[in-house]
Structure 1
Amino acid sequence: MMTSFFDQFMSPSFLGVPLMAVAFVFPWLLFPSPSPRWLNNRLLTLQGWFIKRFTSQLLLPINIGGHNWALVLASLMMFLFSLNMLGLLPYTFTPTTQLSLNMGFAVPLWLATVLIGLRNQPTAALGHLLPEGTPVPLIPVLIIIETISLFIRPLALGVRLTANLTAGHLLMQLIATAAFVLLPLMPMVAILTSVVLLLLTILEVAVAMIQAYVFVLLLSLYLQENV
């Protein structure tokens, strides 16, 4: 039994063994695998159409040099989407509510975009630290500010994903507890609270999809600046 609302965000374990690896692998078992048949079923066709449309829209504003990231970005999008949606089911765990996991995704990918920019176009990459036409007295201050904003990008990526999912799950937990407590005391109020919970659940499904897309979209924008 949970002693706190925040216990749902603790990393689960069974007999002292952490279940984080199971939470990573299980979503991929839900996706259908391609078959050697000439014609695929509706689920495979829909999955392929979605990945193709998403990848084409994501890579549309990026130069040709950044198209090598198509597989990485599409895989990351499907992975985050699966974890976020799976965490909305009862008796499950959402790994993306852990800041350490999100930072583990954000920092290496952000650093890779920065290193690509420094390798391919070092002048343009360093030029982002100082806007054109800056007055001479403001140059040191602007360089410091732009450097801080550059290094805060992965933190913003990880915190945004963690905060949105954690806040939504916690709010659903609070409203569900209120509906359960009010049911024997004020049935009509409990029914109205349950309707609010249903609407919030629909909103959380949208948030789970949007936050996965926003995470990958911001990474593609960082990549666009460096290719």
Structure 2
Amino acid sequence: MNLSFFDQFMSPNLLGIPLILIALLFPALLIPTPSNRWIPNRISSLQLWFLHLITKQLMIPLNKTGHKWAIILASLMTLLLTINLLGLLPYTFTPTTQLSMNMALAFPLWLATLLTGLRNQPSISLGHLLPEGTPTPLIPALIMIETTSLLIRPLALGVRLTANLTAGHLLIQLISTATTSLLPILPAVSALTLLILFMLTILEVAVAMIQAYVFVLLLSLYLQENI
């Protein structure tokens, strides 16, 4: 039984072929394609309003130079949001519960922000490793601490997203299993667990949206330090 709880986090395969690529591309197929009409329909208007809202929120911490990253950050936010929300549906696979995928998203983008800073303003970027006014005996220790803090950022991004989504999916499965098991024995307790399951599902929808936003927002903050 304990092993079955974690089967949902295994990458799906069909005849030995991994289907995670389909799980990544399918959410993008559900996004409506913008039309060339002067007067768009309600779905297109809602989509444009949502993308504008996301882009505006992500660009607030950045100066004008960082606005070049608007398309990348908004696209990443949309991808994570759709994957996280669709992963809450029954009999679906959530690719963002895989640490390898989250690290594949976090590490290259973090490295791009770091290289951008080293190319445009190397002295300021390296200056973050040593706070101003540091006593001389503490300089080596602080450089090592700040370097470790800098290098652990992509790992923190990936682990945060993976841990939150994995914990939520496990809680939903545990409570739903308890609801079905208690139904023939204690119907009143089963109804209570069903109410808890409903509230937890609403919470997980909020967590799926918040974690996608936090992931991209932290990347924008890392970018702001290097531009």
**CA distance in structure 2 between the partners assigned to 1:57 and 1:209 by the alignment:** 14
1:41 alignment partner AA: N
1:4-33: CA deviation from partner (whole Å, max 9, x where unpaired):
201110001112211101101110111110
Checking the alignment, whether the CA contact within 8 Å between 2:130 and 2:139 is kept in structure 1 is yes
Identity %: 70
**CA distance in structure 2 between the partners assigned to 1:3 and 1:217 by the alignment:** 35
Match runs of 1:203-218 below 5 Å: 203-218=203-218
Checking the alignment, whether the CA contact within 8 Å between 2:61 and 2:220 is kept in structure 1 is no
Instruction: Please state whether the residue corresponding to 2:6 is helix, strand or coil.
Output: helix
2:64 alignment partner AA: I
| TM-score scaled by length of structure 2 | 0.98
Unaligned runs of 5+ in 1: none
**CA distance in structure 2 between the partners assigned to 1:2 and 1:11 by the alignment:** 18
Instruction: Please state whether the residue corresponding to 1:4 is helix, strand or coil.
Output: helix
1:61 corresponding residue in structure 2: 61
**CA distance in structure 2 between the partners assigned to 1:186 and 1:105 by the alignment:** 45
**CA distance in structure 2 between the partners assigned to 1:53 and 1:3 by the alignment:** 41
Following superposition, the deviation at residue 2 of structure 1 comes to 9.1
**Root-mean-square deviation (CA), in Å?**
1.1
The change in CA–CA distance for 1:119 and 1:177 in structure 2 (over 3 A counts) is same
Please list every run of at least 4 consecutive aligned residues from structure 1 whose deviation after the TM superposition is greater than 4 angstroms: none
1:19 corresponding residue in structure 2: 19
1:172 corresponding residue in structure 2: 172
1:164 alignment partner AA: N
Unaligned runs of 5+ in 2: none
Following superposition, the deviation at residue 223 of structure 1 comes to 0.1
1:92 corresponding residue in structure 2: 92
**CA distance in structure 2 between the partners assigned to 1:205 and 1:17 by the alignment:** 30
Match runs of 1:37-76 below 5 Å: 37-76=37-76
